[in-house]
Amino acid sequence: MAAPAARGGSLSGLLPAQTSLEYALLDAVTQQEKDDLVYQYLQKVDGWEQDLSVPEFPEGLEWLNTEEPISVYKDLCGKVVILDFFTYCCINCIHLLPDLHALEHMHSDKDGLLIVGVHSAKFPNEKVLDNIKSAVLRYNITHPVVNDADACLWQELEVSCWPTLVILGPRGNMLFSLIGEGHKDKLFLYTSIALKYYKERGQIRDNKIGIKLYKDSLPPSPLLFPGKITVDHATNRLAVADTGHHRILVICKNGQIQYSIGGPNPGRKDGIFSEATFNSPQGVVMKNNVIYVADTENHLIRKIDLEAEKVSTVAGIGIQGTDREGGAAGEQQPISSPWDVALGTSGSEVQRDDILWIAMAGTHQIWALLLDSGKLPKKNELKKGTCLRFAGSGNEENRNNAYPHKAGFAQPSGLSLASEDPWSCLFVADSESSTVRTISLKDGAVKHLVGGERDPMNLFAFGDVDGVGLSAKLQHPLGVAWDKKRNLLYVADSYNHKIKVVDPKTKSCTSLAGTGDTNDVFSSSFTESAFNEPGGLCVGENGRLLYVADTNNHQIKVMDLETRTVSVLPVLRSENAMVDGPFLVEKQKTVPKLPKSAPSIGLSTVTACPGQTLQFKLRLDLPSGAKLTEGVSSCWFVTAEGNEWLLQGQIPSGDIENISNQPTISLQIPGNCLSLTAVVSISVFLYYCSADSSACMMKGILFRQPLQITYTQPGCIDPVELRYVF
């Protein structure tokens, strides 16, 4: 079907008729009255002499979740189509997705409905297809998405804000537009009546569109889009928001998982660990045996008690709230897309950690949850459990003000506390204004630190520039971490794929690590390392290490601030941890115990660099005439006690089937080494019988191979021969 001649050519052509409809709907009482009004509106619009037609998708655009590019006037003919103009960083666009998921559940393409996401980027980083792919996975978008990187369709239709929905009839004719979030009832009403109207006229086709989900092509991974990370210095553990797996992991410093809570599917349930569920959790803060979680897409704050092994809700009602003031008890207070949390202290001078600060991205504010009775700056005494707004008017702005309620934030996404003087402030990563801001814990004054510009309404002052104050430029930063030892602030400059460091005294902002490219070529040096939209970070080991949630690389990176090297934290499951998410690790054989008489042979140290492969050739000799026992598997095992990261993804065991053709054991040094020294143990178990078969026995031997890891490229490594005569 060729595109008909268009009338108007922009959404403004719908405005007069749709405005009249919406005024009439305000006076309608019953559902039938509303249905009739929309039906009559469609009769009017469908009867126009010329359709108000949507332009065809430009050729050459990149598509996701489809087998091939889609044409409005070929593939979508006979469908009611919803075009969702969105950009993946936008919290309002994220809020709209559950409505679209519900609509897709109600009406399929066979019923005549199809949703097409038109990604129209705000930030340069969002124009890159790989980054859009990550967002499609992260938000479980299963309908077709087109990357309109140059905003061609956006401009032709004169779309003005994110999100905007445009509902099309079966001829590509524009019927309705909905601007912003919060129009679920109208969306469902307009769509259902449009389907009914055109089905009655025989214009709906039930053909299926070729959908090919991008997520189906991905391998499983221990982590999936980890959003935030925190460290508890008292217990020496990390808590990770494994956002894409909808769970919280408690991990020891060596990468062993101690607890896996929630996942792998989204849900909203309190209770014991095996029953509790989350929905795309982000912020985590941990003290002793308690973790507070920003359960973002459930619009809740959750509490994990590691001693009782239970999860409870301490704020939110599980539905997105619009209240910008608060003041109710936590469990009765609606909240909106909490993105990060931080523990702090109320007016008392004793450090009590009795306030949970919340970056409320959905309402562009900073909130507080009173964990005990106390006071906020310029507030009266508040009861335990009270949840209320602390700073931010709720308007999406980059506005600083001495009065916290008059300040404006734009999707605050990261928090870090510097409670000590002279700082005494909350640092805020304000993502949509591309700034870092401070909030005084003494009087609530909101001040600028780095990024952005002076005009509070300009949310497009972003870039990648080291500098001081306003001259520094960031791009959608999502995380901040205070280094008390050095009096420095680390920033996850997410869309620049870098970690930056800010001196709050001088307001200088400089790049610390990351090339700015998202390639996955590993380098251990700060300047040559690569990140991909890092979302969170925290300082550990008394200021020596910086842990980074490298979100789109599905990894936790460990930055050593003293040696200036980067490594990857291996995420390993232990026997006691319940791990629900998919793992590449297969169930391994148990290593048998070596006989006490088994010899142990120490080998000379081998020097190798990350990426090199070591080969160990078994050269074992049996007594004269002896042969391997039939029906019993002789075997070998590789272990690395205390350095299990060496064996991730390796083949740790194998059989020895023929003594005259013994196997070669390969071990590749990982690209990300957590230690520069290690010892690999190779245990061999041989079952053999004497020449006359009068006696059969098992013999074992242990070879211990010390390793020295170096980042200067050595020459070729000769195979190591493992020789022994039994």
- Is 239 a residue whose pLDDT tops 90? yes
Report the DSSP beta bridge partners of residue 252.
237
Model confidence band, residue 195 (pLDDT cutoffs 50, 70, 90): very high
Measured CA to CA, the distance from residue 627 to residue 614 in angstroms comes to 29
Q: Are 123 and 89 in contact (CB under 8 A)?
A: yes
DSSP readout, 372-401? SSB--TT---B-TTEEEEEE--SSB--B-B
pTM summary value: 0.74
Q: Are 720 and 705 in contact (CB under 8 A)?
A: yes
Model confidence band, residue 584 (pLDDT cutoffs 50, 70, 90): very low
pLDDT of residue 714: 57
Q: Across residues 642-651, what is the average pLDDT?
A: 80
pLDDT of residue 693: 59
Largest CA distance in the chain: 102
pLDDT tens, position by position, 341-387: 999 986 555 567 899 999 999 999 999 999 999 888 877 889 999 99
- Is 716 a residue whose pLDDT tops 90? no
> Of 12-21, 469-478, 613-622, 652-661, where does the model show the most confidence?
469-478
Mean pLDDT of the chain: 89
pLDDT of residue 436: 98
- Is 587 a residue whose pLDDT tops 50? no
3-state helix, strand, coil in the chain (%, to 5): 15, 35, 45
Domains defined along the chain, listed by start: 11-215 (3.40.30.10), 224-569 (2.120.10.30), 600-725 (2.60.40)
Q: Are 260 and 276 in contact (CB under 8 A)?
A: no
pLDDT tens, position by position, 652-667: 888 888 888 888 898 8
Model confidence band, residue 583 (pLDDT cutoffs 50, 70, 90): very low
- Is 414 a residue whose pLDDT tops 70? yes
Q: Are 581 and 242 in contact (CB under 8 A)?
A: yes
Measured CA to CA, the distance from residue 50 to residue 74 in angstroms comes to 19
H helix or E strand, kind and range, residue 287? strand 284-287
